Structure 1
Amino acid sequence: MTENPGIPLTILAFLLVIGPLVFVHELGHYFVARWFGVKIEAFSIGFGREIKGWTDKRGTRWKLAWLPLGGYVRFAGDMNAVSQPSPDWLALPPQERARTFQAKPVWQRALIVFAGPAINFLFAFLILMGFALAYGESRTLPVAEQVVAGSAAAKGGMITGDRVIAIDGRSMAVFDDVAGYVRMRPNEHMAVRIERDGAVRTLDIVAGVRFEEDRFGNRHALGQLGIINARPVIEPVSLIEAPGVAASRIKSILTMMVDGIGQIITGRRSVKELGGPLKIAQASGEMASIGPETFIWFVALISINLGFINLLPVPMLDGGHLLFYAIEAVRRKPVGAVAQEWAFRSGMLALLALMMFVTFNDLSSFGVWESLSRLIG
């Protein structure tokens, strides 16, 4: 019997994930912009019509909008989508124009834009530091104390006592590295480099596949090697070690994200696995129903996702702006306004198309289209 967190908890959990993460993201832009003397006209959580808001003594309008799927900081002088100088901007009094975003040198504009994704990584970093201090770190050696009969490892020639050094050229320091790498590659060929009796050799192994259904009825295909180390080692982490552990975990999560995107692009994973806001909402409710520790870990994971996605060099995202600033720094002049405008329009269309696609995927995973076809039929 599957459990269901319920619609109220799902909505609340989703807001508790998205709201704070959007807030800290925009807060990064806000504080660095203020540091460089840029006037901020509006700070919004959500898009569309304002639900509630107030104006502070600096003239910034802080507001909550009805569509909680993002947010924005509007700087003085943002008179067009590409933040290019315009006749209206040139008509501003010199003192007022000096406080606009466009008036700042390219390195300051780049730092203002970069601050949003950076603070998402920082937010996750602090959470993961806390987890490292509270629960320690797994440092179980990647040694096969037992090889399951008939498993992928057994078929590939692994025996008890083998130590996994690397898989497909990627170093494996602890047992969790092996499990995490293989889990993402069901039924894929892998070059497994092992150490046996002091000698190093490489085995060609095809990962096994196991289907796992969680308590909420979600079914996942996972890769499986078939080795066991029954002596887990969890060591405490000191305050000095915690930053390194947190950084290592963020690196592992980012590597997993890049691997996942690569597998989708190359066709090794289905595009149906791409999820959008509805799947995030569903997962938020599920994580919240498991417990606070799981939910906080999930918040850190989504924060890293948000930072990573925003750094992609796609117009309309922070990474797209940074790409244009990099070109401007090399050329010593901005990319032409027309070229930027077309790029940002294309980026907007691409993002809208992606949003429609992942929403279609989300609804499909919930069985909406199957139910509709039965009703119509």
Structure 2
Amino acid sequence: MGEIALSIFGTDGLLIGTIVPFLFVLTIVVFVHEMGHYLVGRLCGIGVQAFSIGFGPELFGFNDRHGTRWKLSLIPLGGYVKFVGDMNAASTPPDAEQMADLSDEDRKRAFHLQPVWKRAATVVAGPLFNFLLTIAVFAVMFGLYGRFVSDPMVAEVRPGSPADAAGFQPGDRFLRVDGNRVETFTDVQRYVTGRAGDALTFVMLRDEREIELVATPELSEQTDALGNTIRVGIIGVVNNQEVGQPRIVEYGPLESFTQAVVETGDVILRTGQFLKRFVAGREDRCQLGGPVKIADMAGKAAAKGFDWLVQLVAMLSVGIGVLNLLPIPPLDGGHLLFYAVEAASGRPVSERVMELFYRAGVLLVLAFMAFVFWNDLFGC
């Protein structure tokens, strides 16, 4: 019994070592996302009926002086803000009969009766706050620890690699990768790792002159810092201490913020690039995981230290923000798509068309959730 209890409640056990870090990471990301909706909605004069972390039955909560019910719910895999006039947590608009039942006071505060720009601002605030959270985390990390960098030099070219076939040589210096300026060897890696199978143009400095080489990254299985097996694109060049001159660059507050914005933008672009390649069938499906994989990563990050856990929060926050911007109802991006059509046409999308899109979107979201659960439990 003692061993069983230790495996569950010990610091390396299921509860403390995995479930608690998982709930910490997910709760922060969800809270920040929903707080974005809440704050901007309130700023736009929209009434809020409920703010929930989690779905399903309420565990506990309280009402504030504005009449909003703040609550923690049983199923911790998300959250929602329910505005006045919403029919459910997905912010489904009410029909004409239900809208007529609203009081005059509620009609002034009802989400779906607001100008389209207020609705759009409220919806986009959720993903935006996720990105701001990532910027804040990166800014603090850069301010505290600086950044490890090395010069973008080629120390070695592996025989038979794409770089070898393209004509790379030791001593070459990367200047640009596919039109993107390169300052560190990490820049080279970030432009290459997500582009397996794509022919990339490299501008190199060799013997004080610029040359252009074309190489196609190949997939390679590697182990990341948390022990996960990942598949990334490589061209087969190696950087070392002699030519790379590795060092820690320290930043002041303003520089840390600037670097954090750039880093967050890069992560957003790479996440979008991955999703695009995934839909096209050019990415390994095992790179996508659901709650089980996130929980496993949270446990591993917590074992390495609190700073690792916070970095996981930042990365997950970007992922949640990008996914919510996909133009699929009932995600935020689906709402924004309807608002864009309304703004362009001058009238709301018809209830029937909206209902059809909502049903199709819900099925698609449920299918995606089933897919990542399958990956977590059986597929990978």
Structure 1 counterpart SS, 2:254 = coil
Aligned mates of 1:79, 1:220 — CA distance in 2: 42
Structure 1: gaps of 5 or more residues? 367-377
User: Are residues 59 and 301 of structure 1, via their aligned partners in 2, closer, same or farther at CA, if it must alter by over 3 Å?
Assistant: same
Q: Deviations over 1:116-142 (max 9, x none)?
A: 111111111111100111122345331
Query: Displacement of 1:146 after TM fit?
Result: 4.2
Aligned mates of 1:291, 1:305 — CA distance in 2: 22
Q: Deviations over 1:321-366 (max 9, x none)?
A: 1111111111111111111111111100000011111111111256
Q: Is the 8 A contact 1:167 1:191 kept in 2?
A: yes
**Which is worse superposed, 340-349 or 85-94?**
85-94
Q: Is the 8 A contact 1:5 1:286 kept in 2?
A: no
Alignment of 1:127-206 (within 5 A): 127-148=137-158, 151-185=161-195, 189-206=199-216
What is aligned with 1:112? 122
Q: Is the 8 A contact 1:15 1:68 kept in 2?
A: yes
What is aligned with 2:97? 87
- Select 1:78's aligned residue among 68, 86, 103: 86
- Select 1:46's aligned residue among 43, 54, 57: 54
- Select 1:250's aligned residue among 253, 260, 264: 264
Q: Is the 8 A contact 2:86 2:93 kept in 1?
A: yes
Q: Is the 8 A contact 2:231 2:284 kept in 1?
A: no
Q: Deviations over 1:181-232 (max 9, x none)?
A: 3333457643322121233222233435543346876433333322214211
1:313 aligns with 2:327: yes
Under a length normalisation based on structure 1, what TM-score does the superposition of the two structures give? 0.89
Structure 2 counterpart SS, 1:195 = strand
**Which is worse superposed, 106-115 or 50-59?**
50-59
Q: Deviations over 1:262-302 (max 9, x none)?
A: 33233332223221111111111111111111111111000
Aligned mates of 2:314, 2:164 — CA distance in 1: 37
Aligned mates of 2:194, 2:309 — CA distance in 1: 22
Aligned mates of 1:345, 1:312 — CA distance in 2: 16
User: Are residues 337 and 22 of structure 1, via their aligned partners in 2, closer, same or farther at CA, if it must alter by over 3 Å?
Assistant: same
User: Are residues 226 and 52 of structure 1, via their aligned partners in 2, closer, same or farther at CA, if it must alter by over 3 Å?
Assistant: same
User: Are residues 272 and 139 of structure 1, via their aligned partners in 2, closer, same or farther at CA, if it must alter by over 3 Å?
Assistant: closer
Alignment of 1:161-310 (within 5 A): 161-185=171-195, 189-207=199-217, 210-213=220-223, 218-224=228-234, 225-230=236-241, 231-310=245-324
Q: Is the 8 A contact 2:162 2:215 kept in 1?
A: yes
What is aligned with 1:7? 14
User: Are residues 70 and 265 of structure 1, via their aligned partners in 2, closer, same or farther at CA, if it must alter by over 3 Å?
Assistant: same
Query: Displacement of 1:163 after TM fit?
Result: 1.4
Residue 300 of structure 1 aligns with an amino acid whose one-letter code is A
Aligned mates of 2:342, 2:325 — CA distance in 1: 18
Query: Displacement of 1:78 after TM fit?
Result: 1.3
Aligned mates of 1:150, 1:346 — CA distance in 2: 48
**Which is worse superposed, 321-330 or 255-264?**
255-264
Structure 2 counterpart SS, 1:42 = strand
Structure 2: gaps of 5 or more residues? 1-10
What is aligned with 1:375? none
Structure 2 counterpart SS, 1:354 = helix
Aligned mates of 2:237, 2:284 — CA distance in 1: 24
> Considering only aligned residues, what root-mean-square deviation do their CA atoms show, in Å?
2.3
Q: Could you list the runs of 4 or more consecutive aligned residues of structure 1 that deviate by over 6 angstroms after TM superposition? A: none
Give % identity.
38
Aligned mates of 2:138, 2:227 — CA distance in 1: 28
Query: Displacement of 1:72 after TM fit?
Result: 0.7
Aligned mates of 1:89, 1:97 — CA distance in 2: 8
Q: Is the 8 A contact 1:172 1:178 kept in 2?
A: yes
Q: Is the 8 A contact 1:191 1:204 kept in 2?
A: yes
Q: Deviations over 1:88-143 (max 9, x none)?
A: 32233323310111221111111111111111111111111001111223453312
Residue 21 of structure 1 aligns with an amino acid whose one-letter code is V
Under a length normalisation based on structure 2, what TM-score does the superposition of the two structures give? 0.88
Aligned mates of 1:208, 1:330 — CA distance in 2: 44
Aligned length: 363
User: Are residues 200 and 321 of structure 1, via their aligned partners in 2, closer, same or farther at CA, if it must alter by over 3 Å?
Assistant: same
Aligned mates of 1:216, 1:255 — CA distance in 2: 22
What is aligned with 2:8? none
Aligned mates of 1:181, 1:6 — CA distance in 2: 38
**Which is worse superposed, 154-163 or 283-292?**
154-163
Structure 1 counterpart SS, 2:200 = strand
Q: Is the 8 A contact 2:185 2:239 kept in 1?
A: no
What is aligned with 2:348? 334
